[in-house]
Amino acid sequence: MDKYYLAAFHMVEGIGNAGLQRLVDFFGGAKNAWFADRKSLFSSRLFSDTICNNLLDHREKIDVHKIAAEWEKKRIKLCTISDEEYPNLLRNTFKPPVILYYRGTLPAANDYTIAIVGARRATAYGKNAAGMLAAELAASGFWVVSGGARGIDSSAHAGALKNGRTIAVLGSGVDVVYPPENRRLFDNIAEAGAVVSEYPPGTLVHAAHFPARNRIISGLSLGTIIIEAARKSGALITADFALEQGRDVFAVPGSIFSELSKGTNYLIKQGAKLVDSASDILEEYDIKANTQQKDNELSIEEMQIYSVLSYEVPIGIEKIVMKTNLTPSVVTYILLQLELRGLVDGQSGQRYVRVAREGIN
């Protein structure tokens, strides 16, 4: 129960990670601090008078047992830095969160974790690369860590879920869904991994939260893979955190004509390891690839359609019909079957791209 009192303090404006640790150290535990009288709080000189007054006002309004019951009902768990289940990689970073809130299950101490991050307005190429790498790394035992955002993040989570586990680190409370279209994705992640935040449940999204969130993404991971990032972007902030934390940085190269490749190509120039397949990551950590492949055999008509599609540029049904000489109804049916098998991905305007996967070209 002590961790819920710590969480209650965490909800007081002006008490950050350092303040939480000072409270616990001074009073010998969060519960003791919660029930400390006014005189003891002010005489401790841990905080300014303003923050002490905020704390006392907050304490009058909060029922810790009620909060605990509400969070448990939502399947929200708490983990403090002193708990055994707190991720070791994150614990060994500069100023780690004193408390984590999460839905799902955290990785074990001996599990491998790798971050995949990149642009929100990603291209089909970028999302394809993220999904492929995440799926193959998850199949080989990696937990894939990302930020739950649109674009590369969502593709990485979805790819990892096909074969294994993933962690979404949010810039809001774990019960606040952002972007809203990712509600089902977050629920699936909580079932096969974890949705994590350093912010208390109910905390709304704020722009200032995302840079801080990025340090947790890199801190949870042995290394960070950047896929599509502008020269000034959140993904490069994550790469900087990874370097500061002594972690590896990898980058997937992109077109020299694309603004979304300026950041990744810059990282490669600066010494980041170039990645064009999951084997590059597996070799780095001396892990054997999972060679068990799904059945990717295609019929003649399926191969006709699949060979027309691109990994990067979505192609419409009319163009596919022209190139294959198949009827629109046959093309539509086969595209649906390929999409259900995870071999193609439908884009806006009834356009399709290949989904990158080993064992089929």
Domain ranges of the chain: 2-73, 103-284, 300-354
Tokens 């300014």 -> residue: 48
Q: Which of 4-13, 173-182, 196-205, 290-299 has the lowest mean pLDDT?
A: 290-299
Within 8 A by CB and 6+ apart from 242, the residues are: 115, 218, 221, 223, 224, 248, 249
ω into 179 cis (within 30 of 0):
yes
- Going by C-alpha positions, the residue among 174, 178, 200, 190 that lies closest to residue 67 is 200
Going from the C-alpha of 106 to that of each of 40, 109, 165, 184, the distances in angstroms are 37, 9, 10, 19
Determine the average pLDDT of the residues in 298-322. 90
Is it the case that residue 295 has pLDDT exceeding 60?
no
Is it the case that residue 267 has pLDDT exceeding 60?
yes
The reported pLDDT for the residue numbered 80 is 94
- Phi/psi of residue 111, nearest 5 degrees: -80, 145
103-284: what CATH class?
alpha beta
Determine the average pLDDT of the residues in 265-291. 92
User: In 10 A of CB 129, how many CB atoms?
Assistant: 30
pLDDT bracket for residue 340 (50, 70, 90):
confident
Percent of the chain surpassing pLDDT 70? 97
**Measured distance CA(314)–CA(305) in Å, rounded:** 13
The reported pLDDT for the residue numbered 313 is 86
CB 264 within 8 A of CB 253: yes
Is it the case that residue 293 has pLDDT exceeding 90?
no
The reported pLDDT for the residue numbered 14 is 83
Question: In the predicted model, what is the mean pLDDT of the chain?
Answer: 92
The reported pLDDT for the residue numbered 346 is 86
Is it the case that residue 112 has pLDDT exceeding 80?
yes
Question: 52-82, pLDDT tens digit by residue?
Answer: 999 999 888 889 999 999 999 999 999 999 9
**Measured distance CA(144)–CA(151) in Å, rounded:** 15
Token pair of 136 as six digits: 């193959």
Within 8 A by CB and 6+ apart from 15, the residues are: 9, 23, 47, 51, 55
Determine the average pLDDT of the residues in 199-219. 94
DSSP helix/strand/coil, 12: coil
Identify each DSSP E strand in 28-179 by its residue range.
77-80, 99-104, 112-118, 142-146, 165-169
The reported pLDDT for the residue numbered 342 is 79
The reported pLDDT for the residue numbered 66 is 94
The reported pLDDT for the residue numbered 2 is 86
CB 182 within 8 A of CB 235: no
Is it the case that residue 258 has pLDDT exceeding 70?
yes
DSSP helix/strand/coil, 92: coil
User: Which architecture, in CATH terms, is 300-354?
Assistant: Orthogonal Bundle (1.10)
- Going by C-alpha positions, the residue among 36, 61, 31 that lies closest to residue 47 is 36
Question: 76-104, pLDDT tens digit by residue?
Answer: 999 999 999 999 999 999 999 999 999 99
Is it the case that residue 296 has pLDDT exceeding 70?
no
The reported pLDDT for the residue numbered 294 is 55
- Phi/psi of residue 348, nearest 5 degrees: -65, 150
Query: What pTM value is reported for the model?
Result: 0.85
